[in-house]
Amino acid sequence: MVYQPDDLSPIEKALLGVLCLGLPPSRAAGSDTFRVDHVTAVVCGLLHEGESPRHLQPDSTAVTAEFRSQLRSAIVSLTEKGIVAEQAAGMPAAVGGFEAGLAIDMVNPDEHPALLDRYLGQLCMEELFNAPAVYPYLMERYSTSGSIWRRLRDEGYGSD
């Protein structure tokens, strides 16, 4: 079956869009605010009445248990649809997939699946960028990601 963004729940769309964003591994970035679960939680909060901390714990970094459960259900649903694949614990977290030899950040399979349908992910990312409440946040993450990726490449990341 071919899926379109309208076939997905809001959290599924947000997750796919975030997976397409090109975030660096959070450990390499030096901040848990680059974790896929964190960015997805902020995006979902911004989409719902513009409240970015809505799904975050008081430390403004960790996601709430309720959101983690919702995200887990979304990953299971997307896996069943063949849109993402859960990665085994201990595999390197590459942006939206797996690249051999990139072992900077270890995957928590509850939060960082591999994106199999990149086209659908791109459509979802475009929807996120078109949301006025979300655009500034995602552009900041995207811009900062570019700086981090340049630093990582300069340090030899991915040059096997």
pLDDT tens digit at each of 160 positions of the chain? 899 999 999 999 999 999 998 888 787 788 889 888 999 999 999 998 777 788 999 998 889 999 999 998 999 999 999 999 877 654 444 444 444 443 334 334 334 688 899 999 999 999 999 999 999 999 999 999 999 989 888 888 767 6
| CA distance linking residue 60 with residue 114, whole number of Å | 26
| CA distance linking residue 17 with residue 65, whole number of Å | 22
The token duo for 33 is 């605010």
| CA distance linking residue 39 with residue 34, whole number of Å | 6
pLDDT at res. 11: 96
pLDDT at res. 26: 81
Taking a C-beta distance cutoff of 8 angstroms, is the pair 75, 69 a contact?
no
pLDDT at res. 85: 87
pLDDT at res. 97: 44
* Pairing relationship of beta strands 114-115 and 84-85 according to DSSP bridges: antiparallel
| CA distance linking residue 117 with residue 50, whole number of Å | 28
Q: Hey, where are the domains in the chain?
A: 7-152
The token duo for 48 is 């719902």
pLDDT at res. 112: 67
Q: What is the pTM of this model?
A: 0.83
